[in-house]
Structure 1
Amino acid sequence: MGTMSNNDDGAPVVRRIDRILAFASLGLLLISVACFFATMIIGEGVWPIVIIVQAYGPIVAFLLLLVLLVMSFARRGRAHKQ
């Protein structure tokens, strides 16, 4: 892969995949909260996609955050070994 680089202050550079995972997790969590409120307010009809997002969205968002944390800790560990 590429070499590890740091900013001028010594902090590791934030990679694109880190930003994608962070924003995907936040976006999925916000969408699932919005779906929760939509089903609570409207409550009529069966919306399978809304119910699925409401049920599984926070779980997937949490897993994305865990992946982001593991990748970040691994990168920092490799940077400190060098």
Structure 2
Amino acid sequence: MTDETPVTTSRTQRVLAFIAAGLVILSIACFFVLMIGTWAGAGPDQGSGKGIWPTVELLPLAALPLAFVLIIVLLVVSLVSRSKQNRRAGR
């Protein structure tokens, strides 16, 4: 039998995970709003490039790469944390 200790997550890991998930969900929502708005005739290409449409159009272009970077940072933070736990356990 192996003696496994439960893996704990730090506050930093939880915050990074929730921010990355929030950015992905927000980007997907903007994508669907843009598709529905264009279908309904109110998209930025139909002359209503004012108001919130430029934000809806550009938000996924910035949020998705930022979410990807946050996921990579979360992976690095998790690996460092796991390495510290293994060193403390004497493995």
TM-score of the aligned structures, taking structure 1 as reference length: 0.80
Q: For 2:65, which of 52, 59, 73 is the aligned residue?
A: 59
Q: Deviations along 1:4-54, whole A, 9 cap, x unmatched?
A: xxxxx5133211111111011111101000101111110222212112212
Q: How does 1:29-44 map to 2 (within 5 A)?
A: 29-43=24-38, 44=43
**RMSD across aligned positions (CA):** 1.3
Q: Deviations along 1:35-79, whole A, 9 cap, x unmatched?
A: 011111102222121122121211111111110010000111122
Counterpart-to-counterpart distance in 1, 2:20 and 2:68: 7
Amino acid paired to 1:56: A
Count of aligned positions: 74
Runs of 4 or more consecutive aligned structure 1 residues displaced over 4 Å after TM superposition: none
In the alignment, structure 2 segments of 5+ residues that lack a partner are: none
